[in-house]
Amino acid sequence: MNVISLFSGCGGLDLGFVQAGFNIVLSNEYDSRIWETYETNFPSHHLIKGDIREVNEVDFPDEGIDGIIGGPPCQSWSEAGNLKGIDDKRGQLFYDYIRILSHVRPKFFLAENVRGMLADRHHQAVSNILTLFDRAGYNVRMSLVNSRDYGVAQERKRVFYIGFRKDLDISFFFPRGSTCHPSVRVTLRDAIGDLQHSAVPASGNYHNPEAVNNNEYFVGTYSPIFMSRNRVRSWDEQGFTVQASGRQCQLHPQAPKMEKVSENKYKFKEGYEQLYRRMTVREVARLQGFPDEFKFIYDQVNTGYLMIGNAVPVPLAREIACAIMEALANSSNTNYEQRIYTR
């Protein structure tokens, strides 16, 4: 099945769909810092480089396309941001997604975003987006899920809009995750335990040539905001949400959890200060489910964190893609919510 990828980033969502058996025929990414990483890992994909707002919808094929996938930039919807949502130009990129969807009219689409868009202040904006999807001819299901339930060693809540063209008459239910039961969840020990002792600091926060396979970490001071809460998860827990920033990256589980000093102030445990370091680029890539053969190319190490933190976790993408493929193959089956898709 052929798919178009929008807002592709470094390709976490794309890789999950490829692993599930889909074929990405065309992709689009705005950020020039990411292009080399995407093209290196997906050499057969045709990447349209540039702002989607400047790409005419007729440049996208409208025949032989089964789906459109992508996550419009989420900063304007983020709970940690200013929550401007649809009033922000980045939030309005949803309209360009729908513009291209309406032209191509594939069998299905998937759009991903942060849970902040479910805030009360965005209720009308989200309602308008759902109306536009409806007018474009799609039955849409919106789901809030946690990546830890889908084979990911990370607490990461995201919103997914998944729609099927109305004439297909498909009833779709978001799949239960392969690790929805706590006893089978992937831990930090499972994901990054073998990388602990080969990590090296970045070179002035530029790529360190001594780092093997991106196993280098951002160095520098910690801001008051960073020190306002605990940033350490233990080895047998899932990590915090991977951030798109080296400076804000969570700390490695080799260190004890930070100790509370006051309402919005934590400190490193005395006597263990040398154990506190940020996770490496490769470690957060593992938390996002990227295989070790996936290459991240950058000069500034923060760019590595940026493209990984903005990606959809690969195992989550794969499990969703498998559910979509099965729904298309057998539209009469309405029991997808009862299934567990293996990693």
DSSP H helical ranges for the chain: 12-19, 32-41, 93-104, 123-135, 188-192, 281-287, 301-309, 314-329
- Active-site residue, 74 included: yes
Structure tokens at 146: 């946690």
Whole-angstrom distance, CA of residue 35 vs CA of residue 5: 14
CA angle 18, 22, 26 (to 5 degrees): 85
Q: What Cα–Cα distance (Å) separates residue 225 from each residue in 116, 174, 228? A: 19, 36, 5
Question: Which is catalytic among the residues 10, 74, 249, 322?
Answer: 74
Q: Which amino acid is at 191?
A: A
Nearest to 305 by CA among 76, 75, 9, 89: 9
Q: Identity (one letter) of the amino acid at 175?
A: P
| β-pairing verdict for 23-29 and 47-49 | parallel
Provide DSSP, 277-341: -BPBHHHHHHHTT--TT-----SBHHHHHHHHHTSPPHHHHHHHHHHHHHHHH-TT---GGG-B-
Report which of 196, 113, 187, 175 is spatially closest to residue 151, judged by C-alpha positions.
Answer: 187
Which residues are catalytically annotated?
74
